[in-house]
Every structure is written in structure tokens, then in C-alpha cells.
Amino acid sequence: MSTPFYVSPQQAMADRAEYARKGIARGRSLVVLQYTDGIVFVGENPSRALHKFSEIYDRIGFAAAGKYNEYENLRIGGVRYADLRGYTYDRDDVTARGLANVYAQTLGTIFSSSGEKPYEVELVVAEVGDDASGDQIYRLPHDGSIVDEHGSVAVGGNAEQISSYLDQRHEDAMTLAQALRLAVNALSRDTNGSEREIPAERLEVAVLDRTRPQRRKFKRIVGTRLSRLLEEGAGGTSPSAASSSAAAAEEDEELDLPELPGDDGPSDSGSQN
């Protein structure tokens, strides 16, 4: 009879953590930044069907890097939790902190279970407040821990290098165009120090805009509106001209339809996104 191979609990957990980190690093990076009027989500994503960013509830947004089918299941669970809590109690009882705690319990249970592999995902849950002091950003790594972030956060890919770049340049009083340009500059930096151009059509951008009159603060920025913001952030358009262009493109912004749990694409995809 052969002797079973023994692995210490510390080594087993270290191996699981390394496995999850490598899976997350294969995904493209994304950043979440605070700006004057809210929170902006920016990521490189050539897919039109598989979204990195989604709305969870009125003031709450969700961002994820890693394996798509795993974080899509978590997103759907978060939408159901928020809808049930808001219906049972009150819409104001649905908070990013409560949602982050739910995700932390789920990820922690999966990570510590020997019966299944850890999730190869890293999440960001953000809530926009009535003013900048009320904004909340929580980062949730693969092991279920919760990190309370302020200002900016990067996950996936070369997140450490991007975070260092953002920490040196981010300011709370930035406009949306300035924050967007900073995010794109950070994402365009390769690990070897070189820079590359990321065209607007390869970007996925969404915001939680506290100035929206609607109860729902989440909206996607696409097409002409995105291109004009990038030009303004690069200094190619004067603020007055940019504001006029933004007003002309307002129709594009308001075409967002309510997102349902299954509207982001096929949930059986296992690709790193």
C-alpha cells in the first residue's frame, strides 16, 4: 500500500493563490477612478458581447478581470441579491459595502474549499455618493479579502505597474475627460516600459455619474461621445467646444437599455477577459 502524498495546509493554500493570480494576470487590465462628478470604469476590451463593467443597482457598478464565465456568475448573483434586498426592505438598503461582503463570503468559501479550484477573478464594487466623500470603491481579490480603495484602483494584467502610475498622477478634482485620458495612458503602458496606442473602439468605458437626474447613475460611454472625451482629455478640444459636442452626443448616452442578468453574452465562455 502506497503512502499518500502529504502537502501542508500552508503550501496548499499558497499553491491555490498562485494558480488564481496567474489566471487573473492573463486577463486585460482595467482601472476604476474617481473624478469630480462620480466614478469612471475604463478597460481595454475588443469584445462587444462580453462586458467587464455592469450595473448592479441604482448607484452601484461592478468591474471584473479574469475568467469571464466565473465573474459573470458572480455578477448575476449580485444583481439578484440587490433586487431581493431592495424589494424586501428599501432601495437605500442596497449598498456597495453589503454587496462586497456577500462577494467576499462567496470567494472566500470557494478559495478555502479543497473540492473545487479557486476562482480566477478579481472584482471591484463601486458606489457613487451624493458627493465625493460618499463614494465607495472596494477591491476583492481571489481569496475573498476586501480592500477599501480611494482615488484609483487597477486589477488584472500588470495591475501593480498601472496602480503605481495612477497613484502618482491621479487627482480627485479631475474632470471626466482628464480621468479618462489618465486611465488610457496607464493602460497603454506595457510591462517593458514602452507605450502603445489603444483606439477608442477597443475601449470599454462606463461611469457612475452623480449628476444624472435619474435614479440610476450607471451609463456606458461609447461612439462619438467617447472619442470627443478622449480628444478633450488630450487637449485637442477646448472645454466650451467639448461641452457643446457632449450635448450634441447626449442621445448616444441615453440609449442604454436596462441590463438583465443574461444580456452580456454567453455565460459558458471560459476565456480570460
Distance CA 186, CA 182 (A): 6
Residue 268 is predicted with a pLDDT of 39
User: Between 214 and 191, where is the model more confident?
Assistant: 214
How far is CA 12 from its chain centroid? 29
Answer whether 118's CB lies under 8 Å from 112's CB: no
Q: Which long-range contacts (CB under 8 A, 24 or more apart) does 43-47 make?
A: 43/187, 43/203, 43/204, 44/187, 44/198, 44/202, 44/203, 44/204, 45/202, 45/203, 45/204, 45/273, 46/201, 46/202, 47/265, 47/273
Q: Tell me the per-residue pLDDT of 109-129, one tens digit each, with 9 for 90 and over.
A: 999 987 789 999 999 999 999
pLDDT band at 29 (very low <50, low <70, confident <90, very high): very high
Mean pLDDT calculated for residue range 241-261? 45
Above 80 in pLDDT, residue 4? no
C-alpha cell at 264: 452580456
Average pLDDT, stretch 172-183?
93
The alpha carbon torsion through 151, 153, 159, 161 (nearest 10 deg) reads 10
Which residue did the predictor score with more confidence, 191 or 46?
46
Is the pTM higher than 0.75? yes
Give yes or no for residue 33 having a pLDDT over 90.
Answer: yes
Residue 97 clears pLDDT 60, i.e. is over it: yes
pLDDT bracket for residue 12 (50, 70, 90): confident
Confidence of residue 218 (pLDDT cuts 50, 70, 90): very high
Write down the pLDDT at residue 195.
81
- What pLDDT, on a 0 to 100 scale, did the predictor assign at position 86? 95
The lowest-confidence range among 114-118, 194-198, 269-273 is 269-273
The string of DSSP codes covering 198-265 is --GGGEEEEEEETT-SSS--EEEE-HHHHHHHHHHHTT-S-HHHHHHHHHHTHHHHTTPPPPPTTTTS
